[in-house]
């Protein structure tokens, strides 16, 4: 019996188990009445094990949930027919990654009336399973409560000491919040967002007026003052 484990669900801590039940060459029927999936951790101090029973033999997959992050699991299956239960399938092994937690708040290094340049350091590697393959930079107006689903993606690099993005266009004289998420390889690999940089304000709009006819003159009883005039 062929058994395959692959990532499934909203995060990488759910694992989809799929299988193919052998059939009789003549009747094309498997004769299977029940299947059982067994799983057990093999690298944790406290054993985490369990089983699922499938009573509908037409099912060919099941998603295992509530597995422990950073656990390495052994998975096997048995099937039952009217003649009894089969021996176990060959073991397969699956490691449950821990999604990365980003620990640093971004910083702003340049401000204008319609743009902000945002910096952030690499993932520190303390919490989560590498590798991290990209970062997602989220922004919103500070007055808004909800973070948008859109973001800027920046590829991660092992030799990068700092990441930087100039974001534009923004509204003048407006406050913005920023946060970064680290993403590990594979589907649904985005981890917990990092701390928020709050209330970074853009400058007021440039009035678009250039002074002309600027002139200077000396003033004061002791000529200690300089007058500047312009139109």
What is the rounded CA–CA span in Å between residue 82 and residue 87? 14
Are the C-beta atoms of 52 and 37 separated by less than 8 Å?
Answer: yes
Q: If 0-12 CB within 10 Å is exposed, 13-18 middle and 19+ buried, where does residue 73 land?
A: buried
Reported pTM = 0.74
**What's the pLDDT score for residue 112?**
94
pLDDT one-digit tens code per residue, 6-32: 777 667 878 889 988 876 654 455 688
pLDDT one-digit tens code per residue, 49-93: 999 999 998 899 999 988 999 999 999 999 898 888 888 888 999
Nearest to 136 by CA among 144, 124, 148, 125: 148
pLDDT one-digit tens code per residue, 135-147: 999 999 999 999 9
What is the rounded CA–CA span in Å between residue 218 and residue 216? 7
pLDDT one-digit tens code per residue, 116-136: 999 999 999 999 999 999 999
**What's the pLDDT score for residue 214?**
82
What is the rounded CA–CA span in Å between residue 200 and residue 116? 9
DSSP letters for 82-140: TTEEPPPPPPEEEE-PPPPB-----EEEEE-SS-EEEEEPPP-SSSSPSPEEEEEEEEE
pLDDT one-digit tens code per residue, 171-201: 999 999 999 999 998 888 999 999 999 999 9
Whether the per-residue pLDDT at 105 is higher than 90: the answer is yes
**What's the pLDDT score for residue 82?**
83
**What's the pLDDT score for residue 42?**
95
**What's the pLDDT score for residue 20?**
84
What is the rounded CA–CA span in Å between residue 97 and residue 11? 10
Nearest to 75 by CA among 42, 119, 111: 42
């Amino acid at each position: 019996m062929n058994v395959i484990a692959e990532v499934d669900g909203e995060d990488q801590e759910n694992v989809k188990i799929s299988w193919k039940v052998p059939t009789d060459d003549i009747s094309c029927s498997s004769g299977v009445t029940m299947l059982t999936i067994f799983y057990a951790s093999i690298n944790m101090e406290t054993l985490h094990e369990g089983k699922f029973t499938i009573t509908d033999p037409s099912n060919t997959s099941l998603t295992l949930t509530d597995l422990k992050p950073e656990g390495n699991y052994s998975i096997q299956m048995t099937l039952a027919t009217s003649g009894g239960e089969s021996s176990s399938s060959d073991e397969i092994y699956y490691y449950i990654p821990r999604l990365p937690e980003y620990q640093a708040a971004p910083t702003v290094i340049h401000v204008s009336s319609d743009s902000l340049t945002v910096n952030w350091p690499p993932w520190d590697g303390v919490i989560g399973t590498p590798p991290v393959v990209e970062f997602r930079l989220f922004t919103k107006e500070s007055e808004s409560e909800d973070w948008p689903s859109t973001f800027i993606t920046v590829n991660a690099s092992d030799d990068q000491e700092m990441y930087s993005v100039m974001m534009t266009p923004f509204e003048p004289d407006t406050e913005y919040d920023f946060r970064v998420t680290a993403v590990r390889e594979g589907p649904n690999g985005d981890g917990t967002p990092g701390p928020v940089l709050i209330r970074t304000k853009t400058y007021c709009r440039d009035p678009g007026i250039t002074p002309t006819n600027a002139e200077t003159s000396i003033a004061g009883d002791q000529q200690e003052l300089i007058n500047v005039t312009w139109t």
